[in-house]
Structure 1
């Protein structure tokens, strides 16, 4: 059987650790914690060629009201931006013929298993760098391009500074002159309070993220998930952000402006410096799909990276998607039927 659910944590995590494309989002505990807080069942599939594990693919499945849904990632977009297939460690360096042969095995295996799951609605968002989705397109999937921002940390810090927008540099100097400073913390209270204010608004298109969810993630990965607080010289909180520091340095979930200041600009610069100091090759500010935030993020002169999404839906899936987009997603209804942050 080319596809089977992996039931051994060590086997799964060893594969994710070895693959350049494997992220913390793909890890065993991250998936199981996410399962508990989304109501979706995590099925961690391994795709094999003989005895060789070629790829891993976590899928989150749910049946509700006669509707079968399969997602990767599940509907917590601001928390898990992408997931999907992870190819093995040798894939990136392989010759194109071998890459295409491996992708054919992956596509055939997923086609067989999805045939058993019979989803009415299916969506997968792949990690940046996974661009060959032809097998999915040939299978009738719709494709969509999403964007993220990443900064190459190879140049000297002085060069990264000069690459910043001029007005941004002026603003950052003022924060430095005014004595703003960054501290790492193991206290999630301030972080959660600011994030809850941001995401509890009915116009935000994500489900509830509970305090317990974050607490479990931080306990599971104390070496890789961190929370940072930005203070002014008087010790007043001015900014909060979390990072994932595993293979790449990811600015993960951040809070909104505090008291209307632009201190988050300085917070991001200090985190970029932290990533450089720790030897990471890339700093990612996830998400470049929001026009209201893009101009701010672009001030740091990032590269625009893409990540691809494939989806497929039958008539029932299309009807459910329309109902959510046009009825349930209305702010006044979402207050009643969608569980938001406590």
Structure 2
């Protein structure tokens, strides 16, 4: 089989990359050039999409955000704030033989790994999306690995049978308080609720207003999702989800809440009504991206989700490892 050439894509080739994302089983909105460019601009970080070519045909690749730490360390990661996974993708192999698919995966990932190792990065961190299971071309070659989780809510099941007693009580409280839900794509409302939630913790929101303005514009133009809100009978939004459409699923990407209304059960009402809405539109499952947050796990377990693993790999240079140790030591002493 002909060899694989790996190189950085130029912007005019991004549409070709997006076709790989669309067709790949593990391709997600977070892999698309539009999402990546919004993150790049909002966070002022460098973006590179590396493509893997066979005989001039794009057959895989990986997006990376690159930053320099104090002009000394060069760090590359496939994720950024509020983008939990992205990472390598390969063009789907039509063969029904498992051995053929594994061979194809390794024939693309091995050259990609070798190429990344030659780019002078002091640290490389790749987080694969759920469904991408074979990370051995990295782990067999000295990269460290870790497992992460997300939750899938099966929309083919009966939600009422799966609810815990606590979630039922929250739904009752929300109903008695007159809360209701609806789709409402308004960035100002979302950012106001997000700011309230983070102000309560005395910290800045993880992404600037510009990011959400561009995201809502993309949602309107491409029909890639919607905002779902819980509101009072007077029409005041008190909680919201931003939902992004995936392959046969909706990704509950981020949630926010006015802390003053937490006791009224707005989150439980959001999830319950979203479940019914998405089921009526023939979505297969809800991907609830909060399984790595201990404070939220107990809440979502009240809906009886399935725990789904996904994986990350990383490779650190010796000087990056030393810098991490010194950083941790210094901050411990400061504390």
- TM-score computed with the length of structure 1 as normaliser: 0.86
For 1:3, what is the secondary structure of its paired residue?
strand
Q: CA deviation at 1:152?
A: 1.7
For residues 169 and 257 of structure 1, the distance between their equivalents in structure 2, rounded to whole angstroms, comes to 21
The answer to whether the aligner puts 1:90 opposite 2:81 as a matched pair is no
8 A Cα contact 2:123 2:317, kept in partner: yes
Q: CA deviation at 1:234?
A: 3.1
For residues 88 and 264 of structure 1, the distance between their equivalents in structure 2, rounded to whole angstroms, comes to 38
Change (3 A) 1:142 1:273: same
> Where does residue 286 of structure 2 map in the other structure?
283
> Where does residue 214 of structure 2 map in the other structure?
216
> Where does residue 47 of structure 2 map in the other structure?
42
The answer to whether the aligner puts 1:318 opposite 2:315 as a matched pair is no
The answer to whether the aligner puts 1:60 opposite 2:65 as a matched pair is yes
For residues 276 and 167 of structure 2, the distance between their equivalents in structure 1, rounded to whole angstroms, comes to 15
For residues 317 and 68 of structure 1, the distance between their equivalents in structure 2, rounded to whole angstroms, comes to 9
Change (3 A) 1:122 1:280: same
8 A Cα contact 2:5 2:53, kept in partner: yes
Change (3 A) 1:228 1:43: same
- Structure 2's unaligned 5+ residue stretches are none
> Where does residue 73 of structure 1 map in the other structure?
79
The answer to whether the aligner puts 1:308 opposite 2:311 as a matched pair is yes
Q: CA deviation at 1:319?
A: 3.2
The answer to whether the aligner puts 1:134 opposite 2:136 as a matched pair is yes
Q: Deviations over 1:96-145 (max 9, x none)?
A: 22222222222222233213312111111111111211111111111111
For residues 71 and 209 of structure 1, the distance between their equivalents in structure 2, rounded to whole angstroms, comes to 17
For residues 329 and 195 of structure 2, the distance between their equivalents in structure 1, rounded to whole angstroms, comes to 25
Change (3 A) 1:38 1:320: farther
> Where does residue 233 of structure 2 map in the other structure?
233
Q: Deviations over 1:20-43 (max 9, x none)?
A: 211111111111111112232211
> Where does residue 185 of structure 2 map in the other structure?
186
8 A Cα contact 1:49 1:105, kept in partner: no
Change (3 A) 1:239 1:292: same
The answer to whether the aligner puts 1:21 opposite 2:26 as a matched pair is yes
For residues 128 and 254 of structure 2, the distance between their equivalents in structure 1, rounded to whole angstroms, comes to 19
Query: Which deviates more from structure 2 when the two are superposed, residues 317-326 or residues 174-183?
Result: 317-326
Change (3 A) 1:142 1:292: same
Q: CA deviation at 1:297?
A: 1.0
Query: Which deviates more from structure 2 when the two are superposed, residues 32-41 or residues 301-310?
Result: 32-41
Change (3 A) 1:110 1:211: same
- TM-score computed with the length of structure 2 as normaliser: 0.88
Q: CA deviation at 1:266?
A: 1.0
> Where does residue 110 of structure 1 map in the other structure?
112
For 2:75, what is the secondary structure of its paired residue?
strand
8 A Cα contact 2:61 2:90, kept in partner: yes
Q: CA deviation at 1:94?
A: 4.0
The answer to whether the aligner puts 1:249 opposite 2:269 as a matched pair is no
What are the residue-to-residue correspondences of 1:196-211 with 2, within 5 Å? 196-199=195-198, 208-211=206-209
Q: Deviations over 1:258-288 (max 9, x none)?
A: 3132311111211222221221111011021
8 A Cα contact 2:17 2:58, kept in partner: no
Query: Which deviates more from structure 2 when the two are superposed, residues 63-72 or residues 253-262?
Result: 253-262
Change (3 A) 1:243 1:119: same
For residues 168 and 208 of structure 1, the distance between their equivalents in structure 2, rounded to whole angstroms, comes to 28
Task: Say how many residue pairs are matched.
Answer: 324
Q: CA deviation at 1:257?
A: 4.8
- Structure 1's unaligned 5+ residue stretches are 334-342
Change (3 A) 1:162 1:238: same
